[in-house]
Amino acid sequence: MSNPNYGVWRPMAENVEFNALESNSNAVMAVADTVRTTLGPKGLDKLLIDQAMNRHISNDGVTILLSLRAIHPVSRMIVEIAERQEQLVGDGTTTAVVMAAEMIKEGKRLVKELGVHPTKVVEGIEGGVKEACQLLEKEAKKISLNEIALEQVVKTSLSSKLDGKKLSLLVISALRSVGKNALYNGSYDFDKTITVLRRTTMEDRIVNGIVLERKRMDPEMPLEIKDARVMIARLDLKPVKEAWVKENSKYEEILNMENDRVAKSKDIVNSLLATGANAILIASGEVDQVIENLLVANKVFAVRISIEEIEYLSRYTRAKPVRMMDDLKKSDILGKADRIYEDEDNGVIYIDNGSDGSMATMIVSGTTKETSLERWRAAIDGVNAAEAALNKGVVAGGGAAELHVIEKVKNLRLKGLEQVGLDVVTSALESIMRQILTNAGYNGLEKVMAAKASPDTFGIDIDSGDPVDMWKLGVLDPLLVKTMALEAAGEIAKSVLRIDRNLAAEDLSQQALSETRR
């Protein structure tokens, strides 16, 4: 097994016959066990302690997973998949992990106890996941911005979060305040229209407009500009570089350069003012002190911004970024804002376009850095859930949608032994409701049986323990969160079941050493 490029690959355990499936599935279970008790509204929190002994309480799947220093390669895989789920749909990470664990558990049973070849199981998983996703798609209902269902999706998604009720109201009002302005080519993209800021010193609120976590360039600039004519400047605002001055030793030359600097700065400021701008958002590198002083003298409101902020500020104010002096002569460079002002107490700047509700900023508070971070993440999750729901529709929550497609998945006819691979998928579909209810203190299995015997949209009311229509209860999940979680779980399970041996590269220097010894 020697490979000149990669060194020697050695089994990870001392015994060559060590069972990789056993070891890998144990690793998956270990990871899943740390997050499964957080699933659902009655899930418990985890206390995380970092290396610096900072405490942090979390209920968020990804946060918990990322805090584990998972060294087993398969555990790392789970963490990566959860992260991807978070990035793509922003929710459903615990769901994905719980389903993956269930699939691997069941898959392992088929392989070990019934002697089914892993490739057959893998094909069964593939077929089953595809079928389940299609069935869930058929179940899904489209919803629109003003329906109560949208509020219910957001509430469901935030039900397990710290302060979830309050946050969901905040999220909903942000969604409604930007409304159809968030539509791009027929689908909603709230990333472009809602910014979520966390500020420990401020109250929760929605601001119609943009909030910059910045201060004016100079405290002597005006605090407020009404009917602002906005310029976004990417111009070079340092006409004479200090480095040039230092290279010149003669006093006269230095004086000349200094005069030149003042003259050039004046020219620049005059050209800026000639456009009529009274508020300048500056994304240039350095700004000459002379220029800054002249802006102060002319009562201009100037604030530094980053290159990344240009795009949305330009979209909001309709100002076109100015890169060269020649651009200043163009007629369409300035944008508008009804009001720009600095809240000195909180160190933020508001840019308001009055009636134009095209952008909103959600300010999320938190008494400590940790709670504000957790609430901030939750708020973003809520926005993502709403986006997914509006774009692709919703299904009954609480694991009900998954549970009720099981019988139909079982009807799928695959050739030969692949058929048993379907069991892997149906177990996973059942595991979500079971876990949510177990976490709520019920006998999960018993409750799942009761729900199964009820009509298709029925799950279990987590407070009473009785079967109820999840649509009537208002427990709804975005379809996309469910299908993505199912696909992600399938991916993990397939990879884990396919591995028959874990090999680790031996250190190359070790190899060299043993070769010289020989």
Task: List residues near ligand ADP by CB under 6 A.
Answer: 38-41, 43, 61, 91-95, 156, 159-160, 397-399, 432, 436, 462, 475, 477
Q: Compare residues 65 and 182 and give the one whose CB is closer to ligand ADP.
A: 65
Q: Which two tokens stand for residue 36?
A: 């499964």
How many residues bind Mg ion (CB under 5 A)? The answer is 1
Q: In this structure, are residues 439 and 39 in contact, taking their beta carbons and an 8 Å threshold?
A: yes
The residue (of 443 and 511) whose beta carbon lies closer to ligand ADP is 443
Q: Which among 173, 139, 167 has a CA at the least distance from the CA of 470? A: 139
| 195 neighbors 361 (Cβ within 8 angstroms) | yes
CB 181, min distance to ligand ADP, A: 27
Q: What minimum distance in Å lies between the beta carbon of 513 and ligand ADP?
A: 47
Give the Cα separation of 458 and 402 in Å (integer). Answer: 11
Nearer residue to ligand ADP within complex by CB, 61 or 421: 61
Q: CA 94, CA 247: separation in Å to the nearest integer?
A: 62
Closest to ligand ADP by CB, 321 or 382: 382
Q: In 37-174, at which residue ranges do the beta strands (DSSP E only) sit? A: 46-49, 55-58
**Token match 């938190």: residue?**
366
The listed partner (Mg ion, ligand ADP, none) that binds 426, CB under 5 to 8 Å by sort, is none
Closest CA to 37 of 46, 28, 29, 49: 46
265 contact choice in ligand ADP, Mg ion, none (CB below 5 to 8 Å, kind-dependent): none
**Least gap, CB of 400 to ligand ADP (angstroms):** 8
> Minimum distance between the CB of residue 458 and ligand ADP, rounded to whole angstroms?
12
Give the whole-angstrom CA distance, residue 137 versus residue 129.
12
- Other CB atoms within 10 Å distance of the CB of residue 415: 9
Residue-by-residue DSSP string for 381-411: HHHHHHHHHHHH-EEETTTHHHHHHHHHHHT
Choose between 43 and 467: whose C-beta lies nearer to ligand ADP: 43
Decide which of Mg ion, ligand ADP, none touches 40; Cβ closer than 5 to 8 Å per partner kind.
ligand ADP
Residue 38 contact partner, candidates ligand ADP, Mg ion, none, CB within 5 to 8 A by sort of partner: ligand ADP
**Is 13 or 29 the residue whose CB approaches ligand ADP more closely?**
29
> Are 404 and 109 contacting, i.e. CB atoms less than 8 angstroms apart?
no
- The helix/strand/coil state of 279 is strand
Retrieve residue 462's tokens.
């987590």
Residue 55 DSSP class: E
- The residue with its CB nearest to ligand ADP is 397
With beta carbons less than 8 A apart as the criterion, state whether 458 and 403 touch: no
Distance in Å, CB of 157 to Mg ion, minimum:
5
Q: Which C-beta is closer to Mg ion: that of 108 or that of 377?
A: 377
Task: List the single partner that 313 binds among Mg ion, ligand ADP, none, CB under 5 to 8 Å by kind.
Answer: none
Judged by beta carbon, residue 125 or residue 485, the one nearer Mg ion is 485
In the complex, the smallest distance separating the C-beta of residue 91 from Mg ion, rounded to whole angstroms, is 4
Cβ(392)–Cβ(140) below 8 Å: yes
Least distance to ligand ADP, CB of residue 470, Å? 7
Q: Which of residues 168 and 317 has its CB atom nearest to Mg ion in the complex? A: 168
Strands (E), 311-398: 335-343, 348-352, 360-364, 394-396
Closest CB to ligand ADP among 154 and 211?
Answer: 154
- CB-based contacts of 337: which residues, under 8 Å, 6+ apart? 209, 228, 230, 279, 316, 317, 351, 352, 353
Sign of the torsion formed by the C-alpha atoms of 368, 370, 373 and 375:
negative
436 binds, options ligand ADP, Mg ion, none, Cβ within 5 to 8 A by partner type? ligand ADP
Shortest spacing between CB 93 and ligand ADP, in angstroms: 4
Q: How far is the CB of 35 from ligand ADP (least distance, A)?
A: 8
Smallest separation (angstroms) from ligand ADP to the CB of 266 = 59
Contact yes or no for 174/138 (Cβ under 8 A): no
Q: Closest CB to Mg ion among 82 and 111?
A: 82
Which H helix or E strand runs over 224?
strand 224-233
Give the Cβ contact number of residue 249 at 10 Å.
7
Q: Does 477 bind Mg ion (CB under 5 A)?
A: no
Give min distance, CB of 275 to ligand ADP, in A. 50
Q: Which residue is nearest to Mg ion (CB)?
A: 91
- List the x/- string, 79-98, binding to Mg ion by CB under 5 A: ------------x-------
Q: Give the strand pairing for 224-233 and 279-282.
A: parallel
Residues at the interface with Mg ion (CB under 5 A): 91
